[in-house]
Amino acid sequence: MTDRITGADREHVPFAVWEELRESLRASPDHLIARADELVTAAEPDPNAIYRFVRDEIVTYPAGTTWFSDLREQMRWGVRGTLRGGAGTPREKAELLADLYRRAGWDAGVLFGAGLADPDPETKRLLWRPLDRRFEPALDDETVEDWQRRVGQSPEDLPAVDVIDEDGRESRRLGAEVYGLLPTEELRPSDFRWGRRGALPMVRVVVDGVERYADLFTLDASFGEIHQSVGSLRESPETAETLPVEVTLSAATADSPEDPFDLVSGSWSADDLVGRQLLVQTLPGVDPFERPAVRFSDVGTFVPALTLQAVDLDAERMAELSAVGDAVSRAGDRLRVESDGSVSRNGLPLLSPTVRPESADVAEIGAVTDSGRFPEVRLDVDVRDDDGNPVEGLPATAFEVRDEREAVGVTLVANRVAPRVLILSDTSGSMPYEYRGEGMETLVETLRSRILDEYPNAQISHKLTKSNLWTSLGEAAGSDANLIVYATDGHVRDELTPPIETALRDGPPAVMLSVFDDLSDENLQEMANATGGVLEPASDHQSAEGAIMRYLENLVPELPTYTLTFGSAAGPGAWGTRRVTVRVAGSDAEGTSSYIVPESPAVPNHLAGLYLTVAVGDREVTRTLAGYDPALHADDAVTREMLDEVAGALFGSRCLAFEAAAAPLSVWLDDVLTAKLSTAELDAALQAEDPEAVSDRLDAGFMFVPPELSLLLGPLPDAVTDRSVTFQDGLRVVLYQERPVFGERHVVKQADLLPLAGFATAAADPLEGYRITLEKTARLAVVESELFETSTRSLLAGRRLEEFSEVYDTLRGAEDDVLAAQWYEMIRRRDEYRGDYNFVPADGRPMAFWNVDPTTGELLGVLADGSGGGRQEERIREAIREVDRVMAFYRALMAVSAGAGAAVPGAFALGVVSLYGQTLVRLYGAASLTIAAMDANQLDEDVQQSIVYFACSVARATVLKALGWFAGALSNILSIGGATPLGCSG
């Protein structure tokens, strides 16, 4: 490998070569953005040349799915998206032309005139105009050889190039197979209304003081010609907003998996997002790039963010188009910094900027541990001054906690003496009137008032339960409550299990209210005993209130000042008793406690499900990113594996990529290079061994564009022919994810083609248009099968397929109810697949199917998790749980990436590295106080700082045939580097 900065003038390699490569791409005929820039910035712009460019190089899409034009304001993705993808509605083409004229320095606007004189044949001629959009960068063999020489490579280093779907043959083959499954005699495809006549736009431009007209849609028209009277032209109506887009990241906890709550949500227009990416992030409260010895379990707080990444915008504008939510803990607590600097937890005060307790006042520390939900350990800490009074209000950063002498990070749950009462109420039909519906609500409100009058800092919550009393009590023991109240008739429909017994033994006491005054009820007495609580008669509200207030009177003086949680430092297979020590910074006092690693721990009440909802126009889809799936797991209990999956997802990365019509290859490669060039200054700082400059550049951040997106968002084969045009009514959206799997030896990479594009084909014969749409959209399934080990195409290859309803009936008839129920949940519970044609394996296995839109023929391959895409697992050198240190994990992960030719660490984001620094500053903003208050990490400050290593390869050798001979050279030129933090090791 060559030195990174070489030659007499210290050429910065490979960045100097990348810049030259980008310039060559911008000279390619298919780079419409560069061509438009050249036209409008010419010394003497030519209005006729600009007119011909828009008329001939921008494909015309119908304004509606079944008609050409009469929605004069119809816009889908706007001017920028129309130019980027080379396609748009009539109004978008006209607005693009007017915009280019204005950029060239002329006054221009859009008018409306009469529609086509003979709509049927003229509309077909306008829409059925195939283009030869060639990818021909301005380079030759000599130029490529020069680049290779400068980066230290030889022509022999070129990798072999595989071709995906050459000439569209695989797409046609797959489309024909699925089409053969359809009941063609029953199909009722949408009928394109060719004869519908509607008003069409044209552009008025003033050149050299002369008003000229540009008619883009009258056949054989030339610039300046107008085939109707000027007086008949009308001012255009205001353009409609481009398609609205809403994105929401939500989560659910283990005790309420069916009740997700929003973490962060944002709204955009299609024009904001086309050709750009939204990074769906959960930014950790502890930055492992600053603390490389931090463990996964030390990170307990995350800031959810939807961060716009755009190679064509500056950091300030990206920040304006990004969204951030309140910080959230692993337990699902929402943490907010108010305008006065105070911090609230779930809407209740936690820290105040006006109250600053002195840690020097601490004279005595007591500690009690609860390991019932191991590996999470709950730590109750009692902090007193010399007079025996509690010292309240300290943040998490004040505590130093060690588990068997190893420092652990802690998360603050409470920092003052106050009762936290969780009231459970049985909703079974046998409960008396006083404890049902409004009667129970009256009791709760009365208790709330009485408790707050006596204890102003108290927290009171209420939760309804079924007759699974043991399960509900066990879940309540995992909450932050220090007293449980349970109003029930004692009719139990579940059993006490070892994990529940462990949770109850170490959890808070429970006041069991027998609503029938039956103190001989063995079940209720056993529950009271298991929690260290009491059983009280409570046939009326007055009895219940008295029992609870009496219990609080004795409980509150014994409550600890603080409740903290931490992840045990015990490794896999640990057992026995472990010692915990607690200190407060600035004080000599120390508290000690111990806990036993339980054989059957309960499931912690952590985040159990992570979900992403994306809506474009009137289409909406929700995906389960990790953990509990409301459709697949509706009747299942939350498992520890689900929690581990969510924990891995919090440290993973998610990228939503948006496109209008597919961007030409040169445009996409331009984006990739621009993103890679954003690391140039950081690389130079590393070469100069300038720590301050390195820190500054890391703060400034850089970008990353996942290479798989080029193919997943690539063009359909022959979308425009002289007999049809296949177009989209929405946005193409791909969700790309990479996440570690805790406890396993791999990282999951997954792509999901969200069904939001709405592909359709305008052809003379509706049935032929339906078939064409199916064959064209089969390209996406073919690409998935080439990019990922697991895909719908690979799973269903060679299997007999039938329509879902037939297979479902067969499975039910064979009494295979479990498999039948799984299929029912997979298809019938998901709105986006209900009512479509769904072709599944005849024997019900594997869980994958083809989904076909009944009116358009759009094809989507669906995997077992309900996603439309592909998936693969890449091994890392050590089990993630064993790697333990976050930075160690990332180094191992990047070694996998380098070997697979995958991506850079921004793809495995803790968020910070794939975020522009200024954007990060704005997004964290007030949330920084929340992080400091809730997450504390007392690790060795002398641990040597480390800089993340890049895996430089930008794309797989598998590319579309359009790359031709250029592909092999491109792969190596983009991935070249040296043995430095920003270099490739080979």
For the stretch 456-501, pLDDT in tens is 989 999 999 988 999 999 989 888 899 999 999 989 989 999 989 9
Report, as an integer, the average pLDDT of 128-134: 89
Report, as an integer, the average pLDDT of 410-439: 90
Range of weakest confidence among 582-591, 725-734, 905-914: 905-914
Per-residue DSSP letters for 210-246? EEEEE-SSSTT--TT--SS-GGG-EEPPPPPPPPEEE
Range of weakest confidence among 130-144, 247-261, 771-785: 130-144
Rounded CA-CA distance 637/499 in Å is 13
What's the pLDDT score for residue 935?
37
Q: Which one-letter DSSP state was computed for residue 720? A: B
Task: Band the pLDDT of 750: cuts 50, 70, 90.
Answer: confident
E strand spans, 812-959: 837-841, 849-852, 859-862, 869-875, 935-936, 958-959
What's the pLDDT score for residue 162?
62
Q: What angle do CA 346, 289, 642 make, to 5 degrees?
A: 50
pLDDT at 972 over 80: no
Encoded tokens for 638:
């939350």
Q: Which amino acid is residue 760, in one-letter code?
A: A
What's the pLDDT score for residue 983?
28
More confident call, 908 vs 598? 598
Rounded CA-CA distance 960/393 in Å is 61
What's the pLDDT score for residue 196?
67
Task: Band the pLDDT of 8: cuts 50, 70, 90.
Answer: very low
More confident call, 715 vs 799? 799
Domains and CATH numbers, the chain: 5-167+192-235 (3.10.620), 168-191+756-867 (no CATH), 349-412+563-596 (2.60.40), 420-559 (3.40.50.9100)
- Burial of 383-412, coded b for 16+ CB within 10 Å and e otherwise, reads bbbeeeebbbbbbbbbbbbbbeeebbbbbb
Report, as an integer, the average pLDDT of 854-861: 93
For the stretch 289-322, pLDDT in tens is 444 445 555 567 788 889 888 999 887 788 889 8
**Residue 396, CA distances (Å) to 178, 518, 931 in order:** 59, 44, 9
For the stretch 863-904, pLDDT in tens is 887 777 666 655 433 433 434 444 343 334 333 333 332 332
What's the pLDDT score for residue 912?
26
Rounded CA-CA distance 720/85 in Å is 14
Task: Band the pLDDT of 774: cuts 50, 70, 90.
Answer: very high
Query: Which residue in 956, 951, 947, 939 sits closest to 898, CA to CA?
Result: 951
pTM of the prediction? 0.81
Q: What angle do CA 311, 317, 319 make, to 5 degrees?
A: 100
Select, from the ranges 191-200, 435-444, 866-875, the one with the highest average predicted confidence (pLDDT).
435-444
More confident call, 107 vs 812? 107
What's the pLDDT score for residue 286?
54
Report, as an integer, the average pLDDT of 669-694: 80
The average confidence (pLDDT) of the chain is: 80
Rounded CA-CA distance 893/886 in Å is 10
pLDDT at 725 over 90: yes
pLDDT at 513 over 70: yes
What's the pLDDT score for residue 821?
82
Task: Band the pLDDT of 339: cuts 50, 70, 90.
Answer: low
pLDDT at 920 over 70: no
What's the pLDDT score for residue 407?
84
Give strand pairing partners of 791: 870
